[in-house]
Structure 1
Amino acid sequence: MNTLTTRDKLIAAMADALQRKGLHGVGLNELLTHAQAPKGSLYHHFPGGKTELAVAAIEHIGNGIDAFFAQLFARHPEPLEAMRRWLHNTLQQLESSQFERGCPLATVALESSPEDVAIRAALAGCFARLRAALAAQLSNVGFAAEPAENFATLFVSLYEGGLLQARVAGSREPLVRASNALFELIRQYPREKRHEA
């Protein structure tokens, strides 16, 4: 039986808090309560405190990206369908949380400052993994490397901005409209043949 360690529980609690409240919106006592962890355990496992825990949570989210996309694209080999499914699941989660749960990466990115070097590096790594996973799938269906990377970057930007607008509007419409426009653009874009050596 897989039992979570106190460290794992703290990381899971922080990942959840980042998605709902951001880094500065959650206190240490709330994290300890949510993780059902004893006082003092946070600094035992994360001597750097809340910032070190946040970096661990962001890296945990990043580590899940590869597995998530592997499963998603195995079930939906057509990239646009897989991306639609991802958006559909995100919107369901957003609506069921009364528009509280956004993207944990964007929430932290918005409130980070240049002094948050470790947090920004962890965030940049996660965003890069997202873009790379999507670009790889678009390359698999005939897009050349540069257009695949460009569309992947555009989709991640659209996802983050659309999700933010949907949260504050209390409506899925901003994200749905933006994604429909992008999918139509991707469908119409010519898929280039790869040059053989």
Structure 2
Amino acid sequence: MPPGDTRQRMIETASRLFQRDGYHATSWRGLVEEAQAPWGSIHHHFPGGKEELGVAAIEAGSDAVAAAITYAFASTRTPAGAIERLFSTSAALMEASGYETACPVASVAVASAHESPALTTASRTAFRRWEDELADRLAAGGVPRRRAPALAGHVMTLLEGALVRARVHGSAQPLRDAGSLAADLVRQAAAP
């Protein structure tokens, strides 16, 4: 990213801090310092304040997870293999962070569910995007179209729950276990 792209740097920093510290615990001052952004850039780039930045961070997180889904399906031959890859990639990212981060959307969604309609809508849109993408790819891989949306929702529920457990336990094992279960569910659904 070019050094002058202050807005993008602030979004990436916000996403990282929201994942690590939570939405409410992330202060403007800490964010500006960590992003190495001028103080005035807050109001210039985000006139809607922290909420506007939160929506931008959720959208960036949504893009990152969508890219992980695309990668998982492009790098394997079966839908079950892709699901295992998605979970193992998440496990690797969790390990690399020292178990300090989790889902780039869930941390904001949980903290703001009843306070901010904008953040709730952005979170809902992100989750729906991921589930729709998974459902389309599962259906293309042999899961009956009528079962694919519910199965995609179950996969996302397993992933999100496993991310929380991995962080709490300081271990990627919950992600590995949930990935195996999710892959088994996909295999069963795709079986003739």
Q: TM-score w.r.t. structure 2 length?
A: 0.90
Shift of 1:65: 4.2
Letter in 2 for 1:56: A
The answer to whether the 8 A contact 2:135-2:149 is kept is yes
* Superposition map of 1:154-193 within 5 A: 154-189=154-189, 191=191
Contact 1:166/1:175 (8 A) holds in 2: yes
Q: 1:6 maps to what in 2?
A: 6
Q: Specify the alignment match of 1:122 in structure 2.
A: 122
Structure 1 partner of 2:108 = 108
Amino acid at match of 1:186: V
Alignment of 1:134-153 (within 5 A): 134-153=134-153
Residue-pair matches, total: 192
What secondary structure sits across from 1:146 in the alignment? Answer: coil
**5+ unaligned residues in a row in structure 2: which ranges?**
none
Match of 2:97 in 1: 97
Instruction: Give distance in 1, aligned partners of 2:4 and 2:156.
Output: 31
**1:181 CA drift (Å):** 2.2
Structure 1 unmatched ranges of 5 or more: 193-197
Where relative contact order (Cα < 8 A, 6+ residues apart) is larger, the structure is: 2
Q: Give the alignment's Cα RMSD to 1 decimal.
A: 1.9
Identity %: 36
Residue pair 1:65, 1:129 contacting (<8 A) in 2 also = no
Deviation sequence 1:7-41 (CA, Å, 0-9, x none): 11111111111221221121111111121110111
CA distance in 2, matches of 1:185, 1:89: 19
Does structure 1 retain, via aligned residues, the 8 Å contact 2:76–2:82? yes
Partner of 2:22: 22
**Distance of 1:133 and 1:164 partners within structure 2:** 22
Q: Does 1:44 align with 2:44?
A: yes
Give TM-score, length-normalised by structure 1.
0.88
1:142 match: secondary structure? coil
